[in-house]
Amino acid sequence: MKKTFSIGGVHPADKKISAGCRIEVLPTPQTVYISMSQHLGAPATPVVAVGDKVKAGQVIGEPAGFISAYVHSSVSGTVKSIGPRPDLAGNKVTHIEIAVEGDEWADGIDLSETLVTEIPADNRFIIDRIKSNGVVGLGGATFPTHVKLTPLEGKKAEILILNGAECEPYLTSDYRIMLEKPDQIVIGAAIMKQVLGGSRTVIGIEDNKPEAIESVRTAISRLQAKSASYSGIEVAVLKKKYPQGGEKQLIDAVAHRQVKSMGLPIDVGAVVQNVATSLAVYDAVMKNRPLTTNTLTVTGDCLPADRQKNYLFRIGVPFSFIIEQDGGIPEGAVKVISGGPMMGKAISNLDATTVKGSSSVLYLTAEQTVRKPESNCIRCAKCVEACPMGLEPFLLNKLARNGMMDELEQNAIQDCIECGCCLYSCPANIPLLDVIRVAKGDVMRAIRARSAKK
Amino acid sequence: MTTTIIWTIAILTLLGVVLAVVLYLVAKKFKVEEDSRIDDVEKVLPGANCGGCGNAGCRAFAKSCVDAMNLDSNFCPVGGNETMKKVAAVLGLEVKEKAPMVAVVRCNGTCENRPKVNDYGGYSSCRVKASLYSGDTGCAFGCLGCGDCVAACQFGAIKMNPQTGLPEVDQEKCTACGACVKACPKNVIELRNKGPRGMRVFVSCVNRDKGAAARKACSAACIGCGKCAKVCPHGAITVENNLAYIDFTKCKLCKKCVAECPTGAIHAVNFPAVKPKPATAAAPASSAGPVSAHPAAGAKEAAVKEKPETKEE
């Protein structure tokens, strides 16, 4: 029997329309806008001035705290302005505007495609490379990778899990890199495994991607034949179920370990990284190449087949440029989403730029997005069945609407991963996630305020 | 048969007497002393339990008044001065009269002034909308228009105007309890001095963007030009973060700022219509209200206010 997580989950149609499209390199626009807030934690501080000449791969933002990351220029050119600019949700974030001139890279960056398989022995060197090259988690949360790889006092990572589940419908960027760059992903995994000092590494891939499973398996055996440092890496085939790519769900599916409420994966000896992060780690450590590019899917039911794309884009390219390159917004699309249809965010401002974690431009039709009128809760408990965290969304909804903060906390609203399974499964179309997300924010703030007082 | 009935009655009577004694003794021993004045004060309160005073309901307010034995820090916004006089009479205290307050919606981003740049299709709640993005217009500061304030008002004093998409406060019904102020995620609503006969002047905008950006998003936005601050003879206006604010404790209602504002962001409401002097009949439009440079702003102005000045003058 194939593995999957034990509680909850839903089965949306996977719609991997763009799966067969090879990764294409997106042209570079005239101007890019690089956000200083591309990672979880404190926004980076700009370290260039207006008028400066920058090269691709040059540091333009330095971390402004422990949980923060370096930001690099993805192009070469001149800094035109530094200032607030609306992000995809319209909120003002500091961006650095760079007018593109040529394509000159900073020194010390290996741009060749030759595969480097010799992993450096010095772990500190590896962590430094990951940090200085601005690698963050590309599975969605964009948590700085070097922080996750620095072991906490008294905690030991026994198992490294690579998330190749790509459980969100439509998205195919992880699938494409697993097909096209499997060796790099496996080497990245081996690097992280060495840093963590664990004995086991499992790459979890859902069973709707047999080619990816085959491709990664071949890469593993190829590398294992070469060097002993690749032992202990294996592929786990997972039964397709959303949200398998959730950190806690993936640990449950692969290692059958459950992270307790408010706990971290390291509490059960696990560290989870995305396959795209693994690729970024390979580039950072072996090639000294900063995280300045990523892969993004352009897809949607209403998009003609020849315009379905997987693009390798330079970070900081405006969404409007990508859409333009692909031939404009297709007929029938009423909503443009960045990220998957379950957890992605609607783009209210198409002039916003891509960030490290951007994974898609997804067009949705009116039929797919317009909400049906809400009716009364009939206590069918479909949301309870669907919740992968074992919560009771219908109850949380009631408590949240009445502002019962203590009861919300007792019912573990803070464990909600905002996957949207409850909303997806509700036959009464109750906006469960919308209400719960806001209430969760309030409860989290209250918890933080309380712990700050102590 | 008769004996059974007699015995039953006797035993029950005895049981009743014994338990009554027990209850009496227990009640005596564990008696909670509560000031009877709390009950007296509670009787004169409005009983809305709205929490506008900062206490958890009217009884908690009464207790707080009795405990403190002064009314300086206790004020019932719903009952206002009259109720406070009654409370003072019950407790034999002095009370200072407070100027009546009213909730003021500081946004004039009507559909014409502030065109939509995208459509919001999610759950209709300002808090949810604010948590998702900056809103469906170019202005990231103004009213989101989902009516959280309307839902929060216990007195039916706020209603959404479907024409403007903005909430309107009925100043007769508003008790200044502040529930709408707390409910608004954008801090658009403020409690302000009601003013003599309801006359008040305020900046109807909370946009802190730079002038050009603010103006691009909304034609009635405060652009932080500072003309009002310069013209104000009472030093009541401050401009901070590209936004003017009128301190209602200093404002003397001269309306000079209203005439000066280039975007019509400063509103004067409930002023009596100015009688046109024959000599200056052409000019006085500027002093009549927030309408000056913008006929469009003026037209919607008439729709927004409770007692609009007549535009014919």
| Residue B126 pLDDT > 90 | yes
Going by pLDDT thresholds of 50, 70 and 90, the confidence category of residue B76 is confident
Give the whole-angstrom CA distance, residue B202 versus residue B197.
15
Mean pLDDT score, B140-151: 93
Residue A421's Cβ-side half-sphere holds a number of Cα atoms within 13 Å equal to: 27
| pLDDT tens digits, A18-72 | 999 999 999 999 999 999 999 999 999 999 999 999 999 999 999 999 999 999 9
Going by pLDDT thresholds of 50, 70 and 90, the confidence category of residue B280 is very low
| pLDDT tens digits, A355-385 | 999 999 999 999 999 899 999 999 999 999 9
Asked if B148 has any chain A CB less than 8 Å from its own CB, the reply is no
Mean pLDDT score, B214-234: 93
| Residue B300 pLDDT > 80 | no
**More confident: A57 or B78:** A57
Going by pLDDT thresholds of 50, 70 and 90, the confidence category of residue A406 is very high
Residue in chain B closest to A88 (alpha carbons) equals: B133
CB A105 within 8 A of CB A260: no
Give the whole-angstrom CA distance, residue B145 versus residue B109.
10
DSSP letter at B59? H
A45-46: strand order across its sheet: A45-46, A59-62, A71-72
Distance from the Cα of residue A321 to its chain's centroid: 22
Asked if B133 has any chain A CB less than 8 Å from its own CB, the reply is yes
The per-residue pLDDT for B100 is 85
| Residue B301 pLDDT > 70 | no
Mean pLDDT score, A320-345: 93
Residue to mutate among A438, A440, A445, with most B CBs inside 10 A, is: A438
CB A124 within 8 A of CB A130: no
The per-residue pLDDT for A454 is 76
Mean pLDDT score, B79-94: 87
Which residue is associated with the tokens 């909804």? A397
Choose the weakest-confidence range: A92-106, A259-273, A282-296, B73-87.
B73-87
Sign of CA dihedral B209, B215, B216, B218: positive
| pLDDT tens digits, B156-194 | 999 999 999 999 999 989 988 889 999 999 999 999 988
CA-nearest of A243, A246, A249 to A168 is: A243
Going by pLDDT thresholds of 50, 70 and 90, the confidence category of residue B122 is confident
Mean pLDDT score, A95-115: 93
Q: Which domains does chain A have, with CATH numbers?
A: 123-287 (3.40.50.11540), 382-453 (no CATH)
Chain B residues whose CB is inside 8 A of the A370 CB are 121
| pLDDT tens digits, A45-54 | 999 999 999 9
Where does chain B have alpha helices with state H? 2-29, 36-44, 58-68, 80-91, 126-132, 148-152, 179-183, 211-217, 227-231, 256-260, 285-288, 295-304
Going by pLDDT thresholds of 50, 70 and 90, the confidence category of residue B278 is low
CB nearest to B133's CB, from A89, A369, A435: A89
Mean pLDDT score, A332-342: 93
Going by pLDDT thresholds of 50, 70 and 90, the confidence category of residue B94 is confident
Give the whole-angstrom CA distance, residue A174 versus residue A338.
15
The per-residue pLDDT for A13 is 93
Residue in chain B closest to A86 (alpha carbons) equals: B134
| Residue A117 pLDDT > 60 | yes
CB A323 within 8 A of CB A387: no
The per-residue pLDDT for B218 is 93
Residue B294's Cβ-side half-sphere holds a number of Cα atoms within 13 Å equal to: 23
Which residues on neighbouring strands pair with residue A93, listed in sequence order?
A85
| Residue B257 pLDDT > 50 | yes
CB A396 within 8 A of CB A439: yes
| Residue B292 pLDDT > 70 | no
Predicted complex ipTM: 0.88
Which residue is associated with the tokens 């949810």? B128
Residue in chain B closest to A90 (alpha carbons) equals: B134
DSSP letter string, A97-123:
EEEE-S--BPTT-----PPP----S-H
Q: Which two tokens stand for residue A307?
A: 């315009």
CB A5 within 8 A of CB A388: yes
Quote the minimal CA–CA distance from B118 to chain A in Å.
6
The per-residue pLDDT for B298 is 39
| Residue B283 pLDDT > 70 | no
> Is A313 exposed, middle or buried, given 0-12, 13-18 or 19+ CB atoms closer than 10 A?
buried
CB nearest to A89's CB, from B122, B128, B132: B132
Going by pLDDT thresholds of 50, 70 and 90, the confidence category of residue B288 is very low
Which residue is associated with the tokens 């409770």? B306
Going by pLDDT thresholds of 50, 70 and 90, the confidence category of residue B291 is very low
- CA distances B261 to A34, A270, B98, B217, B246, Å, are 37, 62, 31, 17, 13
The per-residue pLDDT for B307 is 38
Mean pLDDT score, A160-180: 95
Mean pLDDT score, B45-71: 87
The share of chain B scoring above pLDDT 90, in percent, equals 52
| Residue A391 pLDDT > 70 | yes
DSSP letter at B72? S
Where does A327-381 have alpha helices with state H? 366-369
Sign of CA dihedral A70, A74, A77, A78: negative
| Residue B297 pLDDT > 50 | no
| Residue B287 pLDDT > 80 | no
Mean pLDDT score, B214-243: 93
Contact B136 A348 (CB under 8 A): yes
Estimate the crossing angle of helix A182-196 against helix A173-180, to 10 degrees.
100
The per-residue pLDDT for A70 is 96
Quote the minimal CA–CA distance from B134 to chain A in Å.
5
| pLDDT tens digits, A250-262 | 999 999 999 999 8
Mean pLDDT score, A216-239: 94
CB A413 within 8 A of CB A398: no
| Residue A291 pLDDT > 80 | yes
| Residue B304 pLDDT > 70 | no
Contact B133 A346 (CB under 8 A): yes
